[in-house]
Amino acid sequence: MSHVSRKDISRLIIGICAVPILSVWALVSFLPIAGLLGPEKPLIFAVADVLFLLTGFGALLAALVAAVLFARPQARGTVKAGVKGRLGLITAYATVWLALYWAVSVAARTMV
C-alpha cells in the first residue's frame, strides 16, 4: 500500500470541491449581462450587475490571459505557476461571489 500524505488528500478534497463550484461560477458569472439588458430596475442593482460582471469568471479569465500574453517570455511560467497553486483561493472567491450574487438577485426581485 502506498503512503498518501495529508497534503495530497487536501489537494484531492479541494479539487473535488472546486470542479462543481468553478463550473457553476463560469456559467452564472455571465448572468449580469441579462440583468443589464432586462427590464428597468433601480440604479443600485444596475451598478451591482456591472460590478458582478467586472469581477466574474470572464473578466478574471481575460485578465489572466492578458497577464500571460503581455508578460515577458521568461516570466510567463511564473505567472502560470502563481495561479496553479491557488485553486483553493480561487474556489473560495467563486463561492463568495456566488453567494453575494444570489443575495443581490433575491433582493432585486423582492424590491422590484
Condensed to tens digits (0 to 9), the pLDDT of residues 13-29 reads 988 999 999 999 999 99
pTM for the whole structure: 0.84
49-61 residue pLDDT tens: 999 999 999 999 8
| Distance (Å) of CA 111 to CA 35, 39, 43, 98, 107 | 14, 13, 12, 20, 6
Q: What is the pLDDT of residue 57?
A: 94
What pLDDT does 75 receive? 72
What does the block give as the cell for 31?
A: 448572468
What is the chain's percent helix, strand, coil content, to nearest 5?
85, 0, 15
Which residues of the chain, if any, have pLDDT below 50? Answer: none
Q: What is the pLDDT of residue 1?
A: 53
Query: What integer pLDDT is reported at residue 69 of this predicted model?
Result: 81
The x, y and z cell numbers of residue 65, run together, are 490571459
